[in-house]
Structure 1
Amino acid sequence: MGGTVTAVSSNGEYSFTKPNRDSITLLSGLGVAGDVHAGVTVKHRSRVAQDPTRPNLRQVHLIHEELFGEVAEKGFEVLPGQLGENITTGGLDLLSLPAGTLLHIGAEAVVEITGLRNPCLQIDTFQNGLLKQVVGRDETGAVVRKAGIMSVVLAGGVIRPGDPIQVQLPTEPHRALEQV
């Protein structure tokens, strides 16, 4: 089971979108070098306001490019990096992976999936109505979050578009992803 990196993005300043880069460097235990969300403790503004000492379980944000095609069918144009992700993937169902899954990316980097991104209202500021496309409910009424997954860096390395992604599932029983 695997996929491919289709784009990489980072931003040293707080903003909703992140510019695409030729490469990004993952730093073990920190996140993306030079990215505003890199660090051992939480960096997302709302989480810092709650408790700035909590561990950063959102060091690297990944989104599957297939989401962009899905929202395009509803009239939204979204490109890699525009939803704030660091790594855009192709050919890999990120949302179906269990917590604790390891993603081996490129030659050296390894990230551990910590949970689902909880999309915020800024998505509607970016494109009005988009939030309803990335957060919904299933047939049982349970909330479904589609805006990507969050991870922490276990092994650093340089990542570029075209790099392979290999999946290493954790031992069973698997835990479903929850928001982090």
Structure 2
Amino acid sequence: MASPYVHSTHLSNTHSFSKTYTPSITLLTGVGVQGDCHSGTKNQKSSQSTTDSSTPNLRQVHLIPYELFTELRAQNFVIQPGELGENITTTGIDLLGLAKGSYLYFGSGDDVPIVQVTGLRRPGPGIEKHKEGLLDKVLLRDGAGRTICKAGIMGVVVKGGKVNTGDMIRVVEPQGRKVGLEPV
């Protein structure tokens, strides 16, 4: 398998459902994506988060694997990167299989941006409004009745810097007992 990399980067300064492609984004430590409507140190009010704006923002950066778009295309849903509101579209990483607290290093060298994984993005009614029938493809139940959220993961910026389309991604999972991702 090829090394994981950034397929594309996206942002929106308004609370629109989709985000616009840009060749790079700038991550701000403890804040999120510079110029993106979801950046901030405190929780943003949305249908997916608590209305308590004093809690830390665990949803500073949204990442989706490009492989999801390929899977959806096979089910007759043509979705482009950025269309589901992600900031970073990745290739070559099982994002949903990462442990909580995993670190994603973007680029090469020692001085690179770092995002720490906080949990899953739980898709809501906006996805269904965007494309009818899509919610059932990204929010499923397994054989044991557990909810499976396939709409990407969320993270916080541990170290800021520029993330470029094409940057390599290095994953470092936490030591010791691994905790699976839950919606945040």
Interval of TM-score (by shorter of Structure 1 and Structure 2): over 0.9
**2:71 aligned with 1:70:** yes
Q: 2: distance between equivalents of 1:16 and 1:90? A: 22
**2:85 aligned with 1:81:** no
Question: For residue 140 of structure 2, what is the aligned residue in structure 1?
Answer: 136
Paired AA for residue 125 in structure 1: K
Q: 2: distance between equivalents of 1:80 and 1:40? A: 26
Query: Does structure 2 retain, via aligned residues, the 8 Å contact 1:83–1:123?
Result: yes
| Percent of matched pairs sharing the same residue | 45
CA RMSD of aligned residues (A): 1.4
1:126 to 130, 141, 158: 130
Q: 2: distance between equivalents of 1:106 and 1:79? A: 23
Paired AA for residue 178 in structure 1: E
Question: For residue 23 of structure 1, what is the aligned residue in structure 2?
Answer: 24
Q: 2: distance between equivalents of 1:122 and 1:46? A: 9
Q: How far off is 1:171 after superposition?
A: 1.1
3-state DSSP class of the match of 2:4?
strand
Paired AA for residue 120 in structure 1: G
Q: 2: distance between equivalents of 1:129 and 1:154? A: 36
Q: How does 1:3-152 map to 2 (within 5 A)?
A: 3-46=4-47, 50-107=51-108, 108-152=112-156
Structure 2 residue runs without a partner (length 5+): none
Q: How far off is 1:119 after superposition?
A: 0.3
Q: How far off is 1:161 after superposition?
A: 0.9
Query: Does structure 2 retain, via aligned residues, the 8 Å contact 1:26–1:153?
Result: yes
**Number of residue pairs aligned between Structure 1 and Structure 2:** 180
The change in CA–CA distance for 1:44 and 1:61 in structure 2 (over 3 A counts) is: farther
Deviations 1:41-69 (A, max 9, x none): 01242367621111100000000000001
- Runs of 4+ aligned structure 1 residues displaced above 6 Å come to none
- TM-score, with length taken from structure 2: 0.94
Query: Does structure 1 retain, via aligned residues, the 8 Å contact 2:10–2:22?
Result: yes
The change in CA–CA distance for 1:3 and 1:30 in structure 2 (over 3 A counts) is: same
